[in-house]
Chain A
Amino acid sequence: MDLAIDRELDDFRAMVREAIAEMLPPRIAELQKAHGGINSGHAETLEWTRILNERGWSVPHWPAEYGGTGWSPMQLYVFNDEASKAWAPDTCWGATHMCGPVIYTFGSDAQKETFLTAFREGRYFLAQGFSEPGNGSDLARLRTAARREGDRYIVNGQKIWTGGAFASEWGFFLVRTNPDVKPQAGISFLMIKLDSPGVTIRRIPQINGDADLCEVFLDNVEVPAENLIGEEGMGWTYAKFLLDHERTTSSFIFYNKRELARAKALAAAELIDGKPAAEHPEFRSRITRLEAEVTALEWSVLRELANEEFKYDRTAAASTLKVVGSRLQQAVTELQVDLLGPRALRFHAFEPEDRVDAGPLWPTHAEGRTANALIARASTIYGGTLQVQKGIISKLAFGL
């Protein structure tokens, strides 16, 4: 057992920190800081991806032959930690973390050339078309149908919760290509260009004033058969692969660390009866407990990255990261709201031109916190609800 972080990582950390500080435009960092959410600024996300790509860092976790950096899991961890601390946005998650790995694992050479290059270079945003109005947790029964006609598919159906679809050029979709087999076996993985005739996108106004999530209607959309990834009927397997591919990202550990640090800064800045909130015992205790939970989560992630021998099924550990990470996103952002007290109630528009002018009464640190906490209610819903995760744990760890 060696619980010390390797010294060499300190040098690596200093190197990436300096590089990020040099590369990241302050404008992008400020926007990310104001929003603090996941989907802030599609254009800025792509701009940052292109900047990273110039250094060969836009898809560091991919295999080297597709543009990865060859960094170790711990180096990747340090890089992401530093990027998050510097208020860099993520790259387009659907492209670089979900669809990309599916394509480099199961896609054809032509698909690799077309899509991987575009994802790596940040050419466009990519939407994820999985959930449907009638099929959320019970995803395997999805009904959007793709009927093969010669060298193309005709797609009909409806997707929902498609984040950023209105700003995306392409989407990766799960569609039913065979209605006559058991639900999981009839699903295929299809790339669909979102400006195809028959595609209608409607943005969904959200609890926090934003409208990033979308409905996507597919009405006799013609999709070239070459956009099928891998084999027909293997879509469910690929989807499981991509959800399983990165076991630690659902912890949102970098987000949770950064937002806890922000809460501490808020606690020092916000006065209650003339005293910083940080000096009030109830806030101190809340902050300490959350710090303990975030620390434990970080060490749970490190255990996973270091490949600890584990007596239970590893997926149960991955679900644990998701359970704790999603709960923390809510708890930490709720703490921020409570630290602001009644000032948390003021509505802040997402559009830059409608921003509140900063001033002594309304410092910039108040902006965006409540919007962030409101949408964080979704963290225990997307990517497998809290209840689905608990079901996975009780089944895989205990055979219940």
Chain B
Amino acid sequence: MDFNLSDLQRMLLDSAERFIGDHYSLEHRRALRDTADGIDHSAWQTFAELGWLAILVPEELGGLGGAMTDVAVLAGALGNRCVREPFTGTAVLAATILAGAQSAQDAVVESLVAGQARIALAHDEPGERYADSAPRHSALVAGGPGFVLSGQKMMVLDGPTATHFIVTAQGPEGLTLVLVEDGADGVARSDYALYDDSRASDLTLSGVTVGAGQILATGEAAQALLSLALDRARVTLAAQSVGSMEAELEICSAYLKERQQFGHPIGKFQALQHIMADMFVATHQARSMLYFALSRLEQPASVRERAVALARVHIAEAAQLVSRQSIQLHGGYGVTDEYEVSHHYRRQLVLEKQFGDIGFSLARASA
């Protein structure tokens, strides 16, 4: 076993820390919030130039053919600065599904790698929560030259800046993954902001025309592909969460040395030292759990799913401890928009509730 970074991973991390560290200051992130769609388009181009969007894309499709350990290294750096660009949806979830699609998607993959296409998963529907394999109400039926797609989707993460959607629907062959372009006839989007300043959309699909070339997978193959893509996405979120925790350790320990009360830096008080120790322990254990999940990603689906669920429970609960105590250690400043810790708290909340929260993961790991 080797937990140390390979030379390539070291280069990846160095460039990620340099670019993200220079670019994603708190001021910059707060400024981005006031833009129309919330994303940093020029930074996204840099993501593409640095090869970050190509990590999971197979070499024969013009990608780097990398591994989830590489993604986790990068995701940790993104989490460090609460970077909320649509990396997970596009470069992990969509890249996985497109690479495994039954119909060739070379052009879309090429444009994904180039930073032009951003692709969001449109899965959740009203009245359900984290429906992993439940039948979709959205329906794909034969009609016109091919098929017609209708349905209601909600909480499509990063929907406003997506160029394409991967829509889950019930088709003639069961679960079907359909690639739909934003702006296609019959696609209506309603956009909103989330508490971490990322964006999401509700999607109404009304008789959208679908050709055979847009069908990515059907039936059991669709289920398996979706499940793999979601598990990879969950681990990517968990890696961001660990990155956020690790940043909070630095932020809080620095603050405890600088903030004075009762004539001392507050870090002199044992009650606060022990809170920092608890945060250190939780963060260390969370990173161990991330490694465990990564080690199980290539194993049979049942092993992989359970490991990811266990890791998500553990890491999300550790993240709650760390992000809550980070606010507590900052006193009143902790709940202001001026201070980093409130952004980490909000980001952790969003990371926890994407693609399965603690309750969902706990039930899944206990099954």
Residues of A whose CB lies within 8 Å of any CB of B are 1-6, 74, 281, 284-285, 287-289, 291-293, 295-300, 302-303, 305-306, 308-309, 312, 316-317, 320, 323-324, 387, 389-391, 393-395, 397-400
Contact = CB atoms under 8 A, between A and B. Distances in A.
Contacts of B272: 400
Contacts of B278: 390
Given A1-B69, A300-B284, A390 B3 contact: no
Given A74-B1, A285-B366, A400-B256, A3 B277 contact: no
B1 A288 contact: no
B270 interface: yes
Name, among A6, A281, A292, A295, the residue most crowded by chain B CB atoms within 10 Å (CB to CB).
A292
6 contacts: A1-B5, A2-B1, A303-B3, A391-B273, A393-B277, A394-B273
Contacts of B366: 281, 284-285, 287-288
Name, among B73, B257, B277, the residue most crowded by chain A CB atoms within 10 Å (CB to CB).
B277
A309 to B, nearest CB: 5
Given A4-B1, A308-B3, A390 B311 contact: no
Interface in B251-309: 253, 256-257, 267-268, 270, 272-274, 276-278, 280-281, 284-286, 288-289, 291-292, 294-295
Contacts of B1: 2-6, 74, 302, 305-306
Given A288-B366, A302-B1, A398 B276 contact: yes
Contact of B2 (A1, A292, A397): A1
Nearest to B274: A390
Contacts of B291: 3, 299, 302-303
A296 B289 contact: yes
A297 B285 contact: yes
A2 B73 CA distance: 13
Contacts of A320: 280-281, 284-285
B281 A400 contact: no
A400 B285 contact: no
Nearest to B309: A288
A121 to B, nearest CB: 34
Contacts of A397: 249, 253, 276-277, 280
Which label, helix, strand, loop or mixed, suits the secondary structure of the A interface?
helix
A329 to B, nearest CB: 15
Given A324-B285, A395-B273, A398-B253, 12 more contacts: A1-B3, A284-B366, A288-B362, A289-B313, A289-B362, A293-B314, A295-B310, A297-B285, A298-B288, A317-B284, A397-B276, A400-B257
A393 to B, nearest CB: 4
Interface of B: 1-6, 9, 69, 73, 249, 253, 256-257, 267-268, 270, 272-274, 276-278, 280-281, 284-286, 288-289, 291-292, 294-295, 310-311, 313-314, 317, 362, 365-366
A296 B285 CA distance: 5
A285 B362 contact: yes
B27 to A, nearest CB: 26
Contacts of B313: 288-289, 292
B270 A296 contact: no
A299 B289 contact: yes
A302 B295 CA distance: 13
Contacts of B256: 398, 400
Nearest to B73: A1
A4 B297 CA distance: 11
A324 B310 contact: no
A232 to B, nearest CB: 35
A308 B366 CA distance: 31
B4 A393 contact: no
A400 B2 CA distance: 31
A390 B277 contact: yes
A400 B267 contact: yes
B3 to A, nearest CB: 4
B69 A3 contact: yes
A389 B284 CA distance: 15
A399 B281 contact: no
B347 to A, nearest CB: 22
A400 B276 contact: yes
Name, among B73, B285, B314, the residue most crowded by chain A CB atoms within 10 Å (CB to CB).
B285
B139 to A, nearest CB: 34
A297 B311 CA distance: 12
A296 B3 contact: no
A2 B2 CA distance: 5
Contacts of A393: 276-277, 280-281
Contacts of A391: 270, 273-274, 277
B169 to A, nearest CB: 33
A395 B365 CA distance: 36
Contacts of B73: 1
A308 B3 CA distance: 5
Name, among B4, B273, B284, the residue most crowded by chain A CB atoms within 10 Å (CB to CB).
B284
A297 B257 CA distance: 30
Contact of B273 (A74, A297, A306, A400): A400
A295 B9 CA distance: 25
Contacts of B5: 1
Nearest to A308: B3
Contacts of A399: 253, 257
Contacts of A302: 1, 3, 288, 291
A313 B313 CA distance: 28
A308 B1 CA distance: 10
Contacts of A292: 289, 310-311, 313-314, 365
